Structure 1
Amino acid sequence: MMLLHGGDREEARNRFGELWEQLGADGDPLQRCTLAHCMADAQDDPYDELAWDLRALTAAEEVDGHGMALRALYPALHVNLAADYVKLRRPDAARTHLDRARATSGTLTDDGYGNGVRAAIARLTERLAAE
């Protein structure tokens, strides 16, 4: 994550890819969800970003028993998918995931993470309304 936030997207992708291979398809779903969620942010191609965000959502749906930690991820997963679909000029799919992000946002706490996700939902809502 430090590489990604520092601007070295390629090295971040490389490292995330190594972790993904180590984790494997049968790895812990919460770990796969988190890693795919991060890997999506490191992508330059919007189709690749969408593919990783879909992997994150699929893994999240496989998680059993992680309670509030996982429920707090759903709004971010859906707002990321909505943003992916906006980039790909698929507004109907974007609206579907934005609605899901909004519907699950009640699980967010009043902290930096929760406020950031709510702000992303609001920005994307405005953007889609303008189109």
Structure 2
Amino acid sequence: MTAVDETMSAINDAVTLGRQGDTAQARERLIALWDTIGAGGDPLHRVSLAHFLADLHEHAADALTWDIRALDAADSLTDERAQAHHAGLSVRDFYPSLHLNLADNYRRLGAFDTARRHLEAARARLDALDEDGYGLGVRAGIANVEAALANNSTERLSSHP
């Protein structure tokens, strides 16, 4: 039997709280966890926490900070560590979504060329994703950000990628 990862459980609890509408409390919990984990902590904890925390910020600059941290953590995450948490995880599966979120943040900040580079990085890694709900969601997010970029829009999209 696998031991329960208390930090991942705490991250998931905070994410659930945020999805139920209490984004302020979810942010507080995740930031407190980040202070415990630290910038050099377990990469799986860091990528998960930062990725979810970015989604809890309204302003693109705040979200960007956490999305950069998530990408940085993914770069030091191994498949072995990811699969110790869940057998089906592969680090390469994380990158399309991470780059998509960065593309959207940069687009919202008006850095269109940088946004396009991250959108291309997301698109280049789509082969890692299945045609399931997650993969289709990332593909739809790419299309939405691409359309917004075509219009030089900095508006927040109705459905965040």
Question: How far off its partner does 1:101 sit?
Answer: 0.3
Are 1:72 and 2:93 counterparts? yes
CA RMSD of aligned residues (A): 1.4
The match for 2:21 is 7
Are 1:30 and 2:65 counterparts? no
Cα distance in structure 2, aligned partners of 1:11 and 1:112: 28
TM value normalised by structure 2: 0.77
Are 1:119 and 2:140 counterparts? yes
Question: How far off its partner does 1:65 sit?
Answer: 3.3
Give yes or no for contact 2:79–2:90 (8 Å, CA) kept in 1. no
Q: Identity percentage over the alignment?
A: 46
> Which is greater in Rg?
2
The match for 1:49 is 63
Which of residues 117, 121, 144 is equivalent to 1:100? 121
The match for 1:130 is 151
Secondary structure of the structure 1 residue equivalent to 2:79:
coil
Runs (4+) of structure 1 exceeding 6 A deviation are none
More helix by share: 1
Q: Render the CA deviation track for 1:57-81: whole Å, top value 9, x for unaligned.
A: 0111111334752111100000000
Question: How far off its partner does 1:6 sit?
Answer: 1.6
The match for 1:60 is 74
Cα distance in structure 1, aligned partners of 2:79 and 2:92: 11
Gaps of 5+ in 1: none
Question: How far off its partner does 1:2 sit?
Answer: 1.4
The match for 2:86 is none
Q: Report the number of matched residues.
A: 131
Q: Residues 9 and 29 from structure 1, CA distance in 2 versus in 1: closer, same or farther, beyond 3 angstroms? A: same
